[in-house]
Structure 1
Amino acid sequence: MEQRKWEDLNMDCLANVFEKVGMESFLLDVPFVCKSWYKATRSPLCWRTFVIPKEPDTIMSRLSNEYRLKKLDETELVKFVVSRSNRCIVSLVLSNNCSEEAITYVAQGCPALKYLELRNDSRANYLKSWSYSRTCSSALMSLVCKWHDLEVIKFGGIGFIEKTLAQISLHCKNFVGLTIFLACITKAEALAIVTLLPGIKHLELRNAIIAPENLVMILRGCKKLVHFDVRDGVRFRVDNEILKLAAHIPTFKYEGSRLGTI
Structure 2
Amino acid sequence: MTMKHQSQRPGDALPSTALLNIFCKTSIKDRFDNIPFVCKSWAYASADPHCWASMIAESESDSFEVAFLKDSYPYGSSFVDPFDGRRSTDPQRGVICLQALIRRAGGGAAINSLYFFPFLTSVVSPPNDDELLRLIAKHCPNLKHLSFHGSFHASEEAIFNVFRSCRELELIDFSNTPYCYTSILQELSCCCTKIRGVRKQDVLETNFAYDLTKWFPRLRLLNVSYSTIVDLDMFTIVTKCKELQYLDVTGCQQLIRYMDIVKIASKRIPEILYD
Common fold by TM > 0.5? yes
Give the equivalent residue in structure 2 for 1:231. Answer: 250
4+ aligned runs moved over 4 Å, structure 1: none
Amino acid at match of 1:236: L
Among 42, 46, 63, the residue aligned to 2:47: 42
**Contact persistence 1:150–1:175 (CA under 8 A):** yes
Give the equivalent residue in structure 2 for 1:129. Answer: none
Q: Does 1:173 align with 2:193?
A: yes
Give the equivalent residue in structure 2 for 1:134. Answer: 152
What is the Cα deviation at residue 79 of structure 1? 2.1
| Secondary structure class of the residue paired with 1:181 | coil
Q: Which has the higher strand share?
A: 1
Among 140, 164, 174, the residue aligned to 1:110: 140
Give the equivalent residue in structure 1 for 2:95. Answer: 75
| Secondary structure class of the residue paired with 2:178 | coil
Give the equivalent residue in structure 2 for 1:124. Answer: none
| Secondary structure class of the residue paired with 1:74 | helix
Among 159, 170, 183, the residue aligned to 2:203: 183
Q: What pairs up with 1:142-157 in 2 under 5 angstroms? A: 142-156=161-175, 157=177
Q: Structure 1 stretches of 5 or more lacking a match? A: 61-69, 121-132, 256-262
Q: Which of the pair has the greater relative contact order for Cα pairs under 8 Å at 6+ separation?
A: 2
Pair 1:53–1:25, CA change in 2 (3 A): closer
Q: Structure 2 stretches of 5 or more lacking a match? A: 1-7, 57-80, 121-128
Q: Does 1:94 align with 2:94?
A: no
Give the equivalent residue in structure 2 for 1:53. Answer: 82
Pair 1:54–1:241, CA change in 2 (3 A): farther
| Secondary structure class of the residue paired with 2:84 | coil
**Structure 1: distance between partners of 2:179 and 2:55:** 26
**Contact persistence 2:94–2:118 (CA under 8 A):** no
What is the Cα deviation at residue 6 of structure 1? 2.1
**Structure 2: distance between partners of 1:228 and 1:222:** 11
Give the equivalent residue in structure 2 for 1:25. Answer: 30
**Contact persistence 1:96–1:118 (CA under 8 A):** no
**Contact persistence 1:54–1:95 (CA under 8 A):** no
Deviations 1:132-179 (A, max 9, x none): x33237333442221111110112341442222212211222211100
**Structure 1: distance between partners of 2:33 and 2:98:** 15
Once structures 1 and 2 are overlaid, which stretch shifts more, 154-163 or 202-211? 154-163
Give the equivalent residue in structure 2 for 1:196. Answer: 215
Give the equivalent residue in structure 2 for 1:67. Answer: none
Amino acid at match of 1:242: I
Work out the percentage of aligned pairs sharing the same amino acid: 25
Once structures 1 and 2 are overlaid, which stretch shifts more, 208-217 or 3-12? 3-12
What TM-score, normalized by structure 1, do the two folds share? 0.76
**Structure 2: distance between partners of 1:4 and 1:38:** 14
| Secondary structure class of the residue paired with 2:114 | strand
**Contact persistence 1:144–1:164 (CA under 8 A):** no
Once structures 1 and 2 are overlaid, which stretch shifts more, 83-92 or 42-51? 42-51
Give the equivalent residue in structure 1 for 2:20. Answer: 15
**Structure 2: distance between partners of 1:141 and 1:112:** 16
Deviations 1:91-123 (A, max 9, x none): 112218832211221221111111112335xxx
**Contact persistence 2:97–2:119 (CA under 8 A):** no
What TM-score, normalized by structure 2, do the two folds share? 0.73
Amino acid at match of 2:184: T
| Secondary structure class of the residue paired with 1:140 | helix
Pair 1:137–1:190, CA change in 2 (3 A): farther
**Contact persistence 1:75–1:102 (CA under 8 A):** yes
